[in-house]
Structure formats: structure tokens, C-alpha cells
Structure 1
Amino acid sequence: MDKNAILPGSGLVGRIARKAVAEREAEYAGEIRRLLDAALDQVRRGGPNARPRVADIVAAAGLSNDAFYRHFRSKDALMAAVLADGAERLADYVAHRMSKASRPEDRVRGWVAAILAQADATSAADTRAVLCQSGALGADLVSGQTGSAPQRLAVLLYEPFRELGLRDPEHCAGLLAYAIVGKLSEYLWSNIEPSSVEVERLVDFCLSVAAAETGKGVVKDRVPETP
């Protein structure tokens, strides 16, 4: 081999190649984000029975059919990605709300309140849109699929439950995540926004379950921290 040959990944050649890859990755990420947002907007506008066409989504995103099929095999694949994106955004929001509290009891309180906040007037339309599409895909909000909303949300309870002394925080967190997300689904389909009293009742329920697991009794009568 010629010792003076330039290796593909070295020096100037490597830097140019890596720059081109990074630019293409950023371009593709932008296209995917636009398709996800356009799909959700089309469903929101169309209501519960909306079944947007690929052509409508592509037009709303300002992209081409080639761009669509570069990232998704079908409309169902895109809508599955919309569901996963919604679960990820919800988990990020809940984690942010929980981070404002230091005591484990108040982090659990923040967890419940943040999930049920998806039923308020400003968030319900988007959440219902996602629910409608999940039904169209033969899934639901409390699906047991990897990366589903309950699974992502359950992970956020592991640490506060450990601090409360639970021996098996994963098991307890998983059960409560399915229960609270199921309650959220009920509020959404009933078009009801939970009151602060109802939210606090569910907080007490979660803390009571945690307390029963530790054998320490119900964790109550503590003043919640100010967010």
C-alpha cells in the first residue's frame, strides 16, 4: 500500500465528510420534525374521525413525497412516530415538573399533577388527537409496548419511591403509571378537566399505595412545596 495515500477518514477528507454527514443529519431531523408536527396538526384540525392523507401531511409540512418516504414507509409508520413523540414529550414535561420539588412526596405530587394537566383546555385537543390515532393504529394510550407513555412515566417514579423506602419501586411505579394514565384517558374522552381536589385525591392514592408497600402507613398531612 502506498504510504502516501490519504486515508478516507483522516485529515481534511475526514473533516469534510463528517461536516457533510452532520449537515445532512440536521436536515433530515428538521424534515422529520416538520412531518410529525404537520401530522398532529392535521389530526387536531380534523377531529376524532380524521384520517389525514399523506398528500395533506406533506403539503402542510411544505415537503415532497420523496422527503416523506425517505423517513417513513407509510402513514401508519408516521402516526406511530407521532405517538412515540407524544409519549416522549409528556415524559419530559413531567420530569421538568418533578424537578421543582426536593421531597419525594412532592415529586410524586408533581408527577400526578403534570400527567393530569394534559386534560386541561390548553393540552386536551392535542392529547385527544394522539388518542384518536392510537385507536386507529390498533393501540391505546395504556399500551404495553416498549416506550409507551406509562412505561416512560413509571421510570420517573423509581427514585422518589426508593427514597420513600419501597422495596420494589419498579413494580409499584408501573402499576400506578397505568392507573393514572388510564384516569387521564377517562378525563379526556369525557371532556372533563380534573379539579384540584380530584388531583389531590389521586396524589393521596399514589402515596397510600407507596406507604402500604413500605408498611409505614399513609404519607399525608404534609404541606406541598411551592413550585
Structure 2
Amino acid sequence: MKILYVIDHLGGGGAENQFVETVSRVNRETHEIICFLTEGVGIRHDDLSGRGVKIIKCVKPRQGRDTLRAVRQLRQLVRSFRPDMLHSYLMYSAFVSNLALLGMGRWPVFLATEFSSPERILDEVRFRFLKKAMLKWSYGHLDRLVTTSTGVKEEMVSLGYLAAERISVIHEGVDLERCSPAPKEALRRELGLPEEKKVVSVVSSLVERKGHRYLLEALSGVLGVYDDVVLYVLGDGPER
């Protein structure tokens, strides 16, 4: 089977990291795969390409999004590669994929994976109502939408994005061997963490919808009672 994966970029966010781990585990003996990047490269690019995955990025004269170029180049790739399935990740790439497939005589099976509710992301962008209408149109052409939680599926259905029977919930997998913690004392020494403090950490993209403000509000209350607590925030984004 030929599979064409489409994603915005290969940055360090949770969706991108899950994408890299999922795609790199596809059986290359039975499947031929290509990954197309609609927006940029990102820090996980070399990781995925180093695992033998062919990556093609949208060629454009400037940084950021260039939807028309991305649609045109993806359309050319679909015609030359002739995939059996196109699997997009995240809303923008689903929209680009939909435009690229318009009017084509032979459609591949079209899947999309979403990790968050569109409403939370749309709250942070301009022209919210126009982009919501574009997303509803885009999702309406999918053969199947995959969400990573029941909550996201229920919100998609209740807000009229897609009927429940066209959405599947597949929870993210965790490689337990990679997540086995080292002894606390050794980690504190390696990372230079204070031994006399209780350490709280959060790893996340620093965007408003992640709700870091609630953590900071709660921490201020904790520090009013305990003075041996320290918070480490790992991530990047507009809320930095």
C-alpha cells in the first residue's frame, strides 16, 4: 500500500512528536510512504528522515504558510506518487489536502487525525467564523476522521463538524521503555535541580489553550503555604 502523510511541519509539539513515532513504525516492507510538509521543517525533521522516511517539503520563497503553493505541490505529488491513502495531521494540512484533491478523477482514501478541539484553536486566530466554515467543508470530504480522545470526538459531533459514525477514537500509544524514569537523585544531579526543593514540571507548547495560567494561579496558592516548591516549564510558543 502507498501512503502519503501530510502535516504542517515536524516541530517539537505533542502532535508532531506522535506523528514521528507513528510514521517511523510503519512496516516499510509492505507499505511505501512519503511525508509532505505543508508549512516548514522543524526540529524533528532529521529524526524522521534518519529513520528512512522520505520527506518532501513545500518549496516557497518565504517562511510561514503559502497555501496556494502547498496545494499545487501536493496535487503534483498525488498525481506522481498515486497513493492508496492520504493521511493528514492537524487542521491546516487537512484543509490543504482537501484543496489538492479537488477535481481529481482518482481519489485516495482520505483520513485526517486531530489532537485538539477546533474551537479552542479557532479562538486564537483571526477571521474565526470564516475559518470555521472552511474547516467544516474540509472535514465533510473526509472518509474518516481520527481523534485521540473521546472528548474531542464528542465536541466535533456536538458542534456539527462531522457525524459520529465517521469519527474513530484511537488513543495515543506510549513506549514504556522510553519513558522508564531514572533514579530521582541521579536526575537531580544531571539536570542541576535543587535537592532541597520539591520539583514540579510541565512539558507543553506554550499556547493559551493549554491553560498554563491555571497552573500558575494554583502554584501561587501553594507557595503561600510551602516555600520548598519550584516549577520548571519546558516548551516554547507565543505565551513564553
User: Same fold by TM-score, threshold 0.5 exceeded?
Assistant: no
Larger Rg: 1
More RCO (CA 8 Å, sep 6+)? 1
Taking structure 2 as the reference length, the TM-score comes to 0.25
Higher strand share: 2
TM-score normalized with structure 1 length? 0.26
More helix by share: 1
